[in-house]
Amino acid sequence: MALLAGGVALGAQADHMARQQAEQQAAAAGPGAAHAAASGRFGEALQQTQRWLADCLPATFLSHSQARGGGTAGAGGTAVDLRAAGTAPLGGCLSPYYISDAAAKAAPAVVNITVQASGVLPVGSSGSGFIVESDGTILTNAHVVSDAIQRHYFGAGSNSTGGGGPLGPGKGITVTLQDGRIFEGRLVSYDTVSDLAVLKVESDAPLPTARLGRSSSLRVGEWVVALGSPLHLQNSVTAGIVSCVDRKAVELGLAGARTDYIQTDAAINKGNSGGPLVNLFGEVVGISAMKAVAADGVSFAIPVDAAVDVMRQLREHGRVIRPYVGIKMLQLNKHNAAQFRKRDANFPRVDAGILVPGVHPGSPAERAGLRAGDVIVGFAGRSRDVTTTALIKALGEHIGKPLALKVARPGDVIETVTVVALEAVDGHH
C-alpha cells in the first residue's frame, strides 16, 4: 500500500516537474511564443520523466497512478503509453519479482541435508547446503553434519589430517535437491573453527550449481535472500537487508571463531544453516549460520570469501592453515587514533595501522620483541591498507618463516620487529 502511494506521489511530482520545465523553456523563447510552445514541450518533458519513472516503478503501479490522475497524460490529455515507449513492463529496481528472480537463480542448487543418527533416533543433525561444482561438491555448515563428523572423527582415530571417505551403509548423509532427486552423500572434509564442511554426491549427469559472488563488495542496507529448509520446510525463501558487513566474532561471544560475520534481518532459523545467502543477482555472498536466540531479525552468515578460502585450503592441504603469533589486535583509524592520543600524549602520531593491546606471555610475538601499545604500520613491504585481515593473511603465508613488521612506538619511534608465526592447532579434518 505504501509502495502504491509512493507511485502515485511520484506521478504527481512528475507532472509538476515536467510542467515547470516546459514553462521555463517557453518563457525563455519570449512572451509571444510561450503559449504556443508550452503544450508541446510539456508533453515531451512529461514523456521523458515518465520513462525515468518506468525504470524504477513497475507498470502496475504506474497504471494505478494513471487511473488516479497521477500524471501519465501527455499534452492535450493524451495518455502516455509506457510500453510503447520501449520500457519493460515489470523491469526496474521495484519490480514485484526482484526477490523472486534472485531466488530462482540459486534455488536449483540448494539442497536439504539430513544425517542418520547413531542412536535410537532416526534422524540426527540436519540443515541446508548448496552445490558449488557440477560434479556434486556441496558446501554447508559443519554443525549441519555434526553427527557424521563425530562418527568420522572417532572412526578415524582423531587423525588431524583425515579427509572423510564414505560413512558406510546405513550411516550416511541424505541429500535432497529442489527437484526431488535424492542422493547419498559423503563427508569429504570439514573445519569446525569456521563451521564449514564439504560434502560430495555422485550423479550421472552434471548438477546445477550456485554462482559465487564476493562478500567483500556487500554494503549495509543491501537486499539479500536466504534459501534453505527451516524447520524441515524445504525450498523456503526469506528476504531482508544486510545489517552489518563485518560483525566481529567476539561481539557474538564466539571467542574461538576466526572470521567476521554478515549480519542480516532475513529470517534464518533452524534448518536454514548451511544454505546460501544471495544478493539480487542470485550470487552467493554468505552461508547462513545462526541467529540470535533472544531477538528477531538478527541473523548471521559466514562471508563467502572466507568460505572459498577454507575450501581451497581443505582441498590443497587437507586442513586450514592458520597463524599464531600471540597478540590481540585493534584496527586503528584517524578517529580512534585521535582519541588514544588525547588520553595519552605519548601515543604514536598515526592515523591508521593495527594497535597491539596485549601480547601473550611466551608467544612468538613476545619472543620477537612486540610489546603492548605497539602500533603495526607496515609489514612485508606494505605501508598502505594495513589491516588486521591483510596481516593475518600475510602471517598465514609466512608460517615458520620470518615476517618483518614495521612498528610505531611511544615517542614516535619507528622500529622493525621480525616475527615467526606458528601454525595454530584448530579443529580441521
Q: Catalytic: which of 15, 191, 195, 305?
A: 195
* Bridge partners of residue 225, in order along the sequence: 239, 278
Q: How far apart (Å, rounded) are the C-alpha atoms in residues 126 and 356?
A: 41
Per-residue CA distances from 191 to 86, 139, 198 (Å): 52, 12, 9
Amino acid 233 reads L
Active site residue 273: yes
What distance lies between CA 135 and its chain's CA centroid? 25
Q: How far apart are CA 389 and CA 15, in angstroms?
A: 51
Q: Are 379 and 367 in contact (CB under 8 A)?
A: no
Residue corresponding to grid cell 526477490: 99
> Looking at 15, 125, 128, 143, which residue is catalytic?
143
Contacts of 120 (CB under 8 A, 6+ apart): none
Identify the bridge partners of residue 415 per DSSP, sorted by sequence position: 407
For the beta carbon of residue 32, count every other beta carbon within 10 angstroms: 8
Please name the residue ranges forming H helices in 320-371.
334-343, 364-368
Q: Which residues make Cβ contacts (< 8 Å) with residue 47, sequence separation at least 6?
A: 74, 80, 85
Instruction: Please give the backbone phi and psi of residue 357, each rounded to the nearest 5 degrees, phi first.
Output: -70, -25
Q: Find the catalytic residue in 126, 273, 288, 299.
A: 273
> Alpha-carbon distance 320 to 312, whole Å?
9
Give the residue numbers marked as catalytic.
143, 195, 273
